[in-house]
């Protein structure tokens, strides 16, 4: 317990940092669920694609060391844009290939779920492929390291916890993006169309809403959020891997369920909560218990409060 | 004819819900479809709005064949529906629900919002409330108001009286008449046949997916067989 007290502030800072990445990824689960009542289990791979796009973009700059000044801003901006574009586009393609036909033919939810898992495994294995000696090998299973973009420096401290610039960047970027998304969904015509479709898709059609377009938009936004999460992940950890999305994706899904799946603000709350709880738990029992803690939360939420903390807002009450 | 439903058949799986229904609505009319549960009234309206696909026959609006036009595109062509069960977006406010009615329109719609509020002053009082918190009668007003926001050529109303108290039904029907007098053509589906026939210029009687009678509202209202079947026997009018 004394560790918990000693490490409280540093656990809080780490928890909020990783939690904001969970929250960004959780938005994709929650948006798609809100509109289609479908858990897009391939969303974790959409995040993974974002990390690879970010690593690739950073390598294009051929940095000799951490950047600074305007170069830094440019590299960060391009990395985020590339991650968002790659993930957003992949999510749209995923919807077209893996879900649309099932949806328009009215197949069961189980079929869509199986399709999601299939797409997830397919994408993982594709990103494990490497080209060498004129042949494809499934050998890309190690971490791919990225050049360090940001010289990690200590900015200030809260209690015993030290706030580093990369952690602050991750947190601030994620929160800003979520404010933008919240405004989009709640204040614009297209956002209203998304909410209306989530609440009553047949009525939405009667009002002239093109459901397919709303679905594509939903996947695009959710994908772009995961792509930004991917870019921030790479800036924070300087690496990725073909299977990087797997555990992180399930944690983000847990965050979405915890906050109330279908609820955008719930995704933020759930993500930050999961990040904090797993870091507090790690300070008490050790870092190897992080995953156990998160998935215990998932089980407990599903047992005792399956609608999550805030309930489902996109679909039912006011978002 | 403004709206023509020409001999349409619609299937749910292998079961025929409509077996060659023909209905026509002229500009400025109120036309009612009456019939028992399962006669095909709602299916007819859903087919007109493009929510059900047609196995045979055609739907025409102002002479244009719209049988294969996707549902969401029919709103821009001039069809808007207040569906059975009202179909209010429960989490959107009253005002947001109204704005969904004008989803396909560009430009300022505040004059239309004011027009709806003047028809249904209750909605103005509750404009910031979530749609799901309204009473049944208010939700029906919202559903009709929302459909009007699309400025439809033909307003489709599916069972506007369903589940409402007689006084509210009276009020809703008066407003439907008022809307019609302002120049909106109305196609109305009702189980409440007495009220519908009193209001409608013309009406069709549906039975198990077929039109079995069609005449003016008044004629059907005084027809002994219609009275026996749909008006609970001999009621005075």
Instruction: Check CB contact under 8 Å for A206 and B89.
Output: no
Measure CB to CB from residue A192 to each of B81, B87, B99 and give the nearest one.
B99
Is the model's pLDDT at B1 over the cut of 50?
Answer: yes
Its domain, for residue A28, covers: 2-127+160-304
pLDDT at res. B116:
96
Mutate to test the interface with B, among A191, A208, A265, A315 (most CBs of B within 10 A): A208
Q: Which residue has the higher pLDDT, A244 or B235?
A: A244
The DSSP-derived string for B110-125 is HHHHHHHHHH-HHHHH
Residue A196, chain B, CB below 8 Å: the answer is yes
Joined together, the tokens standing for residue B170 give 């009276």
Q: Which residues from chain A sit within 8 angstroms of residue B98, using beta carbons? A: none
A36-90: pLDDT as tens digits: 989 999 999 999 999 999 999 999 998 888 888 899 999 999 999 999 999 999 9
User: Rounded to whole angstroms, how far apart are CA atoms B230 and B233?
Assistant: 8
Long-range contacts formed by A135-138: CB under 8 A, 24+ apart: none
| Predicted confidence (pLDDT) at residue B135 exceeds the cutoff of 90 | yes
Residue A149 within a domain: no
Spell out, as residue ranges, where chain A has pLDDT lower than 70: 1, 313-319
Q: How far is A27 from chain B (nearest CA, A)?
A: 19
A260 within domain boundaries = yes
Q: What is the mean pLDDT of residues B107-127?
A: 95
Determine how β-strand B79-82 pairs with β-strand B154-158. parallel
Supply the pLDDT for residue A316: 54
> pLDDT: is A281 or B234 the higher one?
A281
- Give dist(CA A263, CA B5) in Å, integer: 42
Q: How far is B92 from chain A (nearest CA, A)?
A: 6
The residue written with tokens 């679905």 in the block is A215
Paired tokens of B192: 């409440």
Residue A226 lies in a domain: yes
User: What whole-number distance in Å separates Cα of residue B159 and Cα of residue B224?
Assistant: 24
The per-residue pLDDT for B237 is 44
Give the closest of B81, B89, B147 to A196, CB-based.
Answer: B89
**For A210, which of B72, B92, B147 is closest by C-beta distance?**
B72
Number of structural domains (chain A) is 1
Q: What is the pLDDT of residue A197?
A: 95
Chain A CA closest to residue B148: A207
| Maximum average pLDDT range among A120-124, A151-155, B33-37, B191-195 | A120-124
Q: Does A316 touch chain B (CB under 8 A)?
A: yes
- Provide, as residue numbers in chain B, all residues whose Cβ is less than 8 Å from the Cβ of A210: 70, 72-73
Question: How far apart, in Å, are the Cα atoms of A87 and each of A13, A28, A172, B13, B140?
Answer: 27, 11, 21, 39, 42
Does residue A290 lie in a domain region?
yes
Q: Which of B76, B83, B104 faces A203 most closely, judged by CB atoms?
A: B83
Domain presence at residue A146: no
User: Domain holding A70: CATH number?
Assistant: 1.10.3470
Q: Residue B231: is its pLDDT beyond 90? A: no
Report the complex ipTM: 0.93
Is A319 a domain residue?
no
Higher pLDDT, residue A67 or B95? B95
Report the C-alpha gap between A43 and A87 in whole angstroms: 9
Q: Assess if residue A248 is contained within a domain.
A: yes
The pLDDT tens digits for B198-218 are 999 999 999 999 999 999 988
pLDDT, residue B236, reads 47
Shortest Cα–Cα distance, A39 to chain B (Å):
22
In a domain, A134, yes or no: no
* Per-residue pLDDT at B233: 55
Helix (H, G, I), strand (E, B), or coil: what is residue B202? strand
**Predicted pLDDT at B225:** 85
8 Å CB contact of A316 and B91? yes
Three-state secondary structure string covering A191-256: HHHHHHHHHCHHHHHHCCCCHHHHHHHHHHHHHHHHHHHHHHHHHHHCEECCCHHHHHHHHHHHHH
Handedness of CA B181, B182, B187, B192 (dihedral sign): negative
The whole-model pTM stands at 0.92
Q: Give the residue from A147, A120, A137, A122 showing the smallest Cα distance to A247.
A: A120
Cβ <8 Å between A195 and B92 = yes
Adjacent-strand bridge partners of A145? A239
Each residue's pLDDT tens digit, B154-176? 999 999 999 999 999 999 999 99
Q: Is the dihedral of CA A25, A27, A32, A38 positive or negative?
A: positive
The H-assigned helical ranges of chain A are 2-6, 8-36, 43-60, 69-94, 100-104, 109-127, 165-187, 189-199, 201-206, 211-237, 244-259, 264-285, 290-304
* Nearest-neighbour CA in chain B from A287: distance (Å): 41
- What token pair was written down for A186? 């709640």
**Alpha-carbon gap, residue A16 to A168, rounded angstroms:** 9
| CB-nearest partner of B91 from A199, A207, A209 | A199
Give the single-character DSSP code of B33: E
Q: What is the pLDDT of residue A231?
A: 97
Return the structure tokens found at A81: 């844009």
Tokens at residue A175, please?
Answer: 């929160």
A174 touches chain B (CB under 8 A): no
Tokens 């559903």 found at: B143
Which chain A residue lies closest to B155 (C-alpha atoms)? Answer: A206
Place of tokens 């990087």: A244
Euclidean distance between CA atoms B139 and B133, whole angstroms? 9
Give chain B's mean pLDDT.
Answer: 93
Q: What is the pLDDT of residue A315?
A: 58
DSSP B46-108: HHHTTSS--SEEEEEETTEE-TTS-HHHHHHHTEEEE-TT----TTSBHHHHHHHHTTT--S-
pLDDT at A68 (0 to 100): 86
Judged by CB atoms closer than 8 Å, whether chains meet at B99 and A202 is answered as no
Q: How far is CA A199 from CA A203, A224, A318, B166, in A?
A: 9, 23, 10, 29
A205-244 residues touching B, CB cutoff 8 A: 205-211
Under a CB-based contact definition with an 8 Å cutoff, are residues B101 and B148 in contact? yes
Assess whether pLDDT exceeds 80 at residue B96: yes
Span of A146-155, A206-215, B79-88, B181-190 with lowest mean pLDDT? A146-155
Percent of chain B residues topping a pLDDT of 90: 86
pLDDT value of residue B235: 47
Give the pLDDT mean for B10-30. Answer: 95
Q: What is residue A319's predicted lDDT score, i.e. its pLDDT?
A: 40
Comparing CA positions, the residue from A252, A244, A262 lying closest to residue A317 is: A262
């Amino acid at each position: 317990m004394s560790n918990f007290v000693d490490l409280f502030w540093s656990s809080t800072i780490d928890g909020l940092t990783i939690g904001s990445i969970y929250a960004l990824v959780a938005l994709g689960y929650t948006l798609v669920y809100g509109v289609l009542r479908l858990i897009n289990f391939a969303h974790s791979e959409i995040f993974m694609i974002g990390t690879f796009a970010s690593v690739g973009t950073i390598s294009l700059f051929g940095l000799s060391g951490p950047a600074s000044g305007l170069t830094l801003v440019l590299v960060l901006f391009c990395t985020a844009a590339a991650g968002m574009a790659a993930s957003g586009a992949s999510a749209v393609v995923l919807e077209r290939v893996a879900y649309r036909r099932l949806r328009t033919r009215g197949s069961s939810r189980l079929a869509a779920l199986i399709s999601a898992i299939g797409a997830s495994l397919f994408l993982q294995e594709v990103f494990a492929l490497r080209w060498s000696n004129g042949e494809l090998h499934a050998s890309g299973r190690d971490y791919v390291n990225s050049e360090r973009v940001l010289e990690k420096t200590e900015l200030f401290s809260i209690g015993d916890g030290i706030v580093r610039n990369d952690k602050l960047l991750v947190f601030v970027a994620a929160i800003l993006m979520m404010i933008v998304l919240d405004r989009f969904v709640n204040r614009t015509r297209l956002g209203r169309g998304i909410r209306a479709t989530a609440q009553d898709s047949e009525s939405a059609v009667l009002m002239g809403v093109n459901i397919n377009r709303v679905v594509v938009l939903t996947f695009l936004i959710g994908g772009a959020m995961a792509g930004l999460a991917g870019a921030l992940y790479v800036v924070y950890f300087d690496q990725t891997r073909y299977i990087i999305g797997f555990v992180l994706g399930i944690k983000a899904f847990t965050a979405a369920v915890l906050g109330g799946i279908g609820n955008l603000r719930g995704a933020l709350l759930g993500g930050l909560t999961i990040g904090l709880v797993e870091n507090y738990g790690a300070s008490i029992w050790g870092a190897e218990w992080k995953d156990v803690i998160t998935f215990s939360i998932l089980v407990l939420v599903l047992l005792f409060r399956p609608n999550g903390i805030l309930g489902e807002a996109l679909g039912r009450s006011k978002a | 004819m403004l709206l023509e439903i020409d001999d349409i058949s619609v299937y749910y799986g292998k079961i025929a819900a409509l077996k060659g229904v023909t209905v026509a609505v002229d500009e400025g009319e109120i036309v009612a479809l009456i019939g028992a549960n399962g006669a095909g009234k709602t299916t007819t309206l859903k087919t007109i709005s493009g929510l059900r696909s047609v196995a045979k026959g055609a739907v025409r609006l102002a002479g244009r064949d719209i049988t294969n036009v996707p549902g969401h595109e029919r709103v821009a062509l001039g069809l808007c529906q207040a569906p059975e069960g009202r179909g209010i977006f429960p989490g959107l406010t009253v005002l947001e629900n109204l704005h969904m009615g004008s989803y396909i329109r560009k430009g300022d719609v505040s004059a239309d919002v004011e027009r709806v509020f003047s028809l249904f002053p209750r909605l103005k009082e509750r404009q910031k409330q979530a749609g799901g918190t309204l009473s049944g009668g208010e939700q029906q007003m919202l559903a009709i108001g929302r459909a009007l926001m699309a400025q439809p050529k033909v307003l489709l109303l599916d069972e506007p009286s369903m589940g409402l108290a007689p006084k509210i039904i009276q009020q809703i029907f008066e407003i439907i008449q008022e809307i019609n007098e302002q120049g909106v053509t109305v196609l109305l589906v009702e189980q409440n046949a007495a009220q519908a026939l009193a209001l409608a210029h013309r009406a069709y009687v549906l039975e198990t997916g077929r039109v079995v009678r069609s005449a003016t509202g008044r004629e059907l209202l005084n027809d002994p067989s219609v009275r026996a079947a749909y008006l609970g026997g001999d009621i005075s009018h």
